[in-house]
A and B are shown apart, each in its own frame.
Chain A
Amino acid sequence: MKQAFVAARYLVSLVAVSVAFTLVCFAQQATGGQAQGGQQAAPAAEWPADSVGMLVAEWTRAKNWTKEYLDKMPEDGLSHKATPEVRSFAEQMIHLASANFLYATRGAGLTNPHQGKNLMTMDEFKTKAGLTKLVMESYDFMIGGIKAMNADKLKEKIQGRGMTLTREATIRNGFEHQTHHRGQTTIYLRMKGVVPPPEPFQ
């Protein structure tokens, strides 16, 4: 009987230790879970912290920069082509605007206000005033579309041109596109004897 007693005491103490272990273990798990939840609320390794704000700032700067190009080109320079086989200054700008509408439509999930129209052939965009209005409208459409999204929506993956990109990456591709074409028109201005606007990289 004495041995049984000893065994029972061992048993009780083991159960106690086991319960204690389990309690500690669950407590640690609960704490771990909270810490994990806390990290999800404030992701540190994402940039920029304000992705919507940064895109809005970049597109606003791009809009103002392109506006300076339009302002600097004299009315008679709209049809200027560097060589006969390339787009005229106006056609470059219409191409840039059409693409802005398309990228915003896809990237921000909007409806293209000029869907089905061939902007390139329309007479109303062949004056400086009409052209400027259209190009500015395309930037405002993009900026409005970005402002209507939040950081999570920008991270959504969408299909386009046979590949999967985030909305943010699609909008950045659109940004690259307008930079590329505005860049080309720098030389059109030079060839018309106009000093192009300085680069606003702030």
Chain B
Amino acid sequence: MKQSIKAFRYFVSTLAVSAALGLVCFAQQAAPKAIQGAAATSAATDQISVLVADWTRARDYTKEYLDAMPEDGLGFKPTPDIRSFAEQMLHLAAANFAFVSTASGKANPYQGKQLEKMEEYKTKAALTKIVMESYDFAINAAKNVDLKKADEPVKFFSFDLTRGSAWSKGFEHQTHHRGQTTIYLRLKGVKPPNEKLF
């Protein structure tokens, strides 16, 4: 019996060592996976958070332009053959919807509508609402960007883009048109908002 107890103690201790080794081993295996997962997520989150931050900054900057223009300046044109302030902003909004729809694959909520021509947006309140809506469409899509698809080719009208370049060119487009309206503000005697590059 004494030998049997001794053997049983060996048995238990071996089991314990085995269990301990097994645990250490599984812990080691689990750890690198967790670290790997965290690193991949943080790189992805970083690019997405930059995209979201850029579009949020652009929205706030454009909002300052809309706030700065008086109601009677909405129809103002520096020369007769170009877009009015409201038309510039509607063009910017329509393009935000279109670029982001191409980039993200989300349906354009104003597909087929000529926002620039629609009189219902030519008050300051309605204009501000639709322009902000176009940026929110971009920001919400940016939050859910699938980075693995960013190099996928897409058609934007006749242009061959990638989803990623549709995002950058959409951003460039709104910068270009908001930039033009700086001079509309000046010509209406309004000091434009300070540049918001960061």
* A interface residues, Cβ below 8 angstroms from B: 1, 3-4, 6-8, 10-11, 14-15, 17-18, 21-22, 25-26, 28-29, 32-33, 36, 39, 43-49, 54, 58, 82-83, 85-86, 161, 163, 165, 169, 172-173, 175-177, 179-184, 186-188, 190-191, 199, 201-202
Q: Is A47's CB under 8 angstroms from B164's CB?
A: yes
Nearest residue (CB) in B for A36 is: B36
6 CB-based A-B contacts, threshold 8 Å: A25-B21, A32-B33, A43-B40, A45-B148, A176-B175, A180-B175
Given A180-B176, A181-B179, A186-B180, 9 other A-B residues pairs in contact with their CB atoms under 8 A = A4-B4, A29-B28, A39-B36, A45-B148, A82-B186, A163-B198, A184-B183, A187-B78, A199-B173
Q: Is A32's CB under 8 angstroms from B82's CB?
A: no
Q: Is B79's CB under 8 angstroms from A190's CB?
A: yes
Number of interface residues of B (CB under 8 A): 61
Per DSSP, chain A at the interface is helix
* B interface residues, Cβ below 8 angstroms from A: 1, 3-4, 6-8, 10-11, 14-15, 17-18, 21-22, 25-26, 28-29, 32-33, 36, 40, 43-44, 47, 50, 54, 78-79, 81-82, 147-148, 150-151, 156, 159-162, 164-165, 168-169, 171-173, 175-180, 182-184, 186-187, 195, 197-198
Q: Is B22's CB under 8 angstroms from A54's CB?
A: no
Query: In whole Å, how far is A145's beta carbon from the nearest beta carbon of chain B?
Result: 19
Q: Is A176's CB under 8 angstroms from B78's CB?
A: no
Query: Given A7-B4, A25-B22, A83-B187 in contact, is the A201-B197 Cβ separation under 8 Å?
Result: no
Query: Given A14-B15, A25-B25, A82-B183 in contact, is the A45-B173 Cβ separation under 8 Å?
Result: no
Per DSSP, chain B at the interface is helix
Complex interface: chain B residues within 8 A of A36 (CB): 32, 36
Q: What 8 pairs between A and B have smallest CB-CB spacing?
A: A7-B7, A183-B179, A47-B150, A25-B25, A18-B18, A187-B183, A180-B179, A4-B3
Q: Is B78's CB under 8 angstroms from A191's CB?
A: yes
Nearest residue (CB) in A for B158 is: A202
Q: Is A46's CB under 8 angstroms from B26's CB?
A: no
Q: Is B179's CB under 8 angstroms from A18's CB?
A: no
Query: Given A3-B7, A163-B198 in contact, is the A183-B32 Cβ separation under 8 Å?
Result: no
Complex interface: chain A residues within 8 A of B14 (CB): 11, 14-15, 18
Q: Is B168's CB under 8 angstroms from A58's CB?
A: yes
Q: Is A183's CB under 8 angstroms from B151's CB?
A: no
Query: In whole Å, how far is B102's beta carbon from the nearest beta carbon of chain A?
Result: 11
A44 to B25, CA, bound (A): 29
Query: In whole Å, how far is A91's beta carbon from the nearest beta carbon of chain B?
Result: 14
A85 to B40, CA, bound (A): 50
Q: Is A25's CB under 8 angstroms from B197's CB?
A: no
